[in-house]
């Protein structure tokens, strides 16, 4: 679809009261889309609403939502369809950025970070996909991950695991939804001017048993200053909208990672054993590649297509 084809379509965006989520919301609004937005903070909601009012735009349907609450997510999907009559686009954007040595992490650390960053995406897909399919008009699922879906580091083990998980889920889901006219995009932004670094200061009480060192607020706020050098959230939102219009499976918003991807490519190739594979294994992989290609062309692939 062209950019004009999205005008009037309905999108639900999680974590839209700030940061990348609000950037996406503004980009979608600029394209004439109608919006339902999830939020957690009333001040953020009021500030964002003012942006729409000042431009005489339709004020979004705001839904207060904890993305880990499955029942509330299901209710949000019903509310969106009741309000607009349909939903065409789901943007799973809400997430937490929490860092610490992975070897010191507790169960609470895993449960909180994975529950929001991966579980929230799962909840969005299970709650909203039936609604998007039911519209019969096609649509799109946008899952916002991070460059951490490709690049790991010593302080972000659980965060990185959550983004790798979102990447894998998104890439597979893309194959499944082609027959329904529903596109799927994985978004991997890098540094954006947001308050994401302050997530550790908002830790829920039920996950208080962290294995990481007690939060040093001064240290966290100093770390957050790095985000001041990040991309404007609206620019990121515009790039994400453009990628959705082009139905790109992978949307990178930042250009500064060629060195990293070259290293990943060369390291991966070098790790492959330098030997011939037997014909029967080669045939299995040929069938896998053929099935993937057929899926992207609209075929529904079953286990029988892989053997």
Query: Which pLDDT tens digit goes with each residue over 124-161?
Result: 999 999 999 999 999 999 999 999 999 998 889 999 99
Provide the pLDDT confidence category of residue 226 given band limits of 50, 70 and 90. Answer: confident
CB atoms under 10 Å from CB of 56, counted, come to 6
In the chain, DSSP finds a helix count (H) and a strand count (E) of 10, 7
DSSP state of 276: P
**Residue 159 appears among annotated catalytic residues:** yes
Question: Helices marked H in 105-156 — which ranges?
Answer: 107-117, 119-135
Query: Among 302, 305, 299, 289, which residue's Cα sits nearest to residue 180?
Result: 299
Residues forming a β-bridge with 34 = 10
CATH domain 3-259 topology? Rossmann fold (3.40.50)
Choose, from 39, 159, 175, 180, the residue flagged as catalytic. 159
3-state secondary structure of 61: strand
Q: Where are the domains of the chain?
A: 3-259, 273-307
Task: Name the percent of the chain lying above pLDDT 70.
Answer: 100
Residue-wise pLDDT tens digits, 58-98:
999 999 999 999 999 999 999 999 999 999 999 999 999 98
- The H or E element spanning position 113 is helix 107-117
Query: Among 227, 224, 200, which residue's Cα sits nearest to residue 105?
Result: 200
């Amino acid at each position: 679809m062209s950019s004009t084809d999205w005008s009037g379509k309905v999108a639900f965006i999680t974590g839209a009261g700030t940061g990348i989520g609000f950037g996406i919301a503004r980009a979608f609004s600029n394209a004439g889309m109608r919006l339902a937005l999830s939020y957690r903070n009333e001040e953020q909601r009021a500030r964002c609403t003012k942006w729409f009012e000042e431009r005489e735009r339709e004020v979004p349907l705001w839904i207060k939502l904890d993305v880990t609450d499955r029942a509330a997510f299901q209710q949000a999907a019903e509310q969106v369809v009741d309000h607009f009559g349909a939903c065409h686009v789901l943007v799973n954007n809400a997430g937490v950025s929490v860092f610490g040595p992975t070897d010191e992490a507790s169960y609470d650390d895993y449960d909180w970070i994975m529950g929001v960053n991966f579980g929230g995406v799962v909840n969005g897909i299970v709650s909203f996909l039936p609604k998007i399919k039911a519209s019969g008009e096609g649509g799109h699922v946008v899952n916002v991950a991070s460059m951490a879906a490709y690049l790991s580091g010593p302080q972000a083990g659980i965060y990185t695991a959550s983004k790798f998980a979102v990447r894998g889920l998104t890439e597979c889901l893309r194959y499944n939804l082609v027959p329904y006219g529903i596109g799927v995009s994985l978004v991997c932004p890098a540094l954006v001017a947001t308050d994401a670094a302050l997530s550790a200061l908002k830790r829920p009480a039920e996950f208080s048993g962290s294995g990481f060192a007690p939060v040093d607020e001064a240290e966290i706020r100093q770390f957050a200053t790095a985000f001041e050098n990040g991309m404007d959230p609206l620019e990121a939102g515009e790039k994400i909208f453009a990628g959705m219009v082009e139905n790109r499976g992978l949307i990178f918003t930042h250009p500064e990672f060629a060195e990293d991807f070259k290293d990943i490519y060369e390291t991966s190739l070098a790790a492959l054993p330098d030997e011939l594979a037997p014909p029967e294994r080669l045939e299995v992989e040929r069938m896998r590649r053929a099935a993937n290609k057929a899926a992207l062309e609209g075929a529904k692939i079953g286990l029988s297509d892989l053997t």
